[in-house]
Amino acid sequence: MTVTPIELSVSGIHLARGGRIHAGARSADAERDGWHLKAFHARTDADVHADHWQVNTEADGIVFCIIGMIRLYLRPEWPGRQGEEEEIRLTAGTAAIVPRGQWHRIQLDTPSTIMTIAQSCGGHSERRAAPL
């Protein structure tokens, strides 16, 4: 078996149940079970879809700031519910665990390299309402 380097900014890694690891585009199997690891460089908020909230209903996830500075926002469980968004600042080398069922989004303070680890299924996103 030949072992070759994987460019994480181009290819995600799927960690399947049973110990199998696959690099490359998501396959049908990757959508059903296991975990997905992705690392990427983000230059603008558009690169992290800052205008969308995301949630994984099946498992906790991790957001890791490898290089740069980002803000991870958590919102109250229901839109319009009283309470402010919670802001977590992540600098190079820091990470946050996003609890299962917690709506979240990322914004950049500077261009950054980010890694995310999430379960392959159970994720949803929705457009963020325009600020009042």
User: What domains are there in the chain, each with its CATH number?
Assistant: 38-127 (2.60.120.10)
In DSSP terms, 72 is beta-bridged to 88, 106
Lowest-pLDDT range of 6-15, 27-36, 53-62, 123-132:
27-36
- Token code pair at residue 69: 């500075």
The model carries a pTM of: 0.82
More confident residue, 129 or 109: 109
Q: Are strands 94-98 and 123-127 parallel, antiparallel or unpaired?
A: unpaired
Q: Are strands 12-15 and 94-98 parallel, antiparallel or unpaired?
A: unpaired
Instruction: Provide the pLDDT confidence category of residue 132 given band limits of 50, 70 and 90.
Output: very low
CB 54 within 8 A of CB 116: no
